[in-house]
Amino acid sequence: MKIRWMVAAVAAVGLATVTFPVITGCGSSASRSDGDSKAAPDASACSAKAAPANLEFTLTDMNGKAVRLADYKGKAVLLNFWATWCPPCKTEIPVFIELQEKYRARGFVVLGVSTDDPADALRAFAAEHKMNYPVLQATEELMDAYGPIWAIPVSILINRDGTICKKHMGPATKEEFEKDIKAVL
């Protein structure tokens, strides 16, 4: 009986060691992102193992309007899963505002996808933080399609052709995002 509990305790500690950096948003971004770490500014920016993004979702924005992800095909899209109560998510918002403004004319868009906030809270938060990009409400199906999403923020960069080029699990820096965006534009 004691051995079984000891094995369970060791397994629990091991699991906690592996998942704690993901849950808290800690750890190096290199250990949290998929794709090539040396993205070139051309069509080869996505890794050879890049998968197509599922754009067959219609989500509701913070104003109650239907938004089809398929309508963004042909643009470079940063799909950011976040919540208003998430401190690392809040630190990324000014970066996304700046990147949206800087690269919008070149066919780039940030789509903020709230994982659990109601529309009224999103409207107030977006106004307070002067968010200049669409804010959508996630569905379980969307989170399953792009996940598993066990912790936030999660940011997924989708190329113009609808290919997932990069996935950041946890917060990333402005420099990391900008490098990735330039590589797909």
Catalytic-labelled residue, pool 46, 86, 89, 165:
89
Tokens 């197509």 belong to which residue?
A: 52
Rounded to whole angstroms, how far apart are CA atoms 184 and 179?
9
Q: How far is 141 from 86, CA to CA, in rounded Å? A: 21
What is the Cα–Cα distance from 130 to 1, expressed in whole angstroms?
Answer: 58
| Whether residue 46 lies in the annotated active site | no
Q: How far apart are CA 138 and CA 135, in angstroms?
A: 10
Spatial distance between the Cα atoms of 83 and 63, rounded to a whole number of angstroms: 17
Catalytic residue IDs: 89
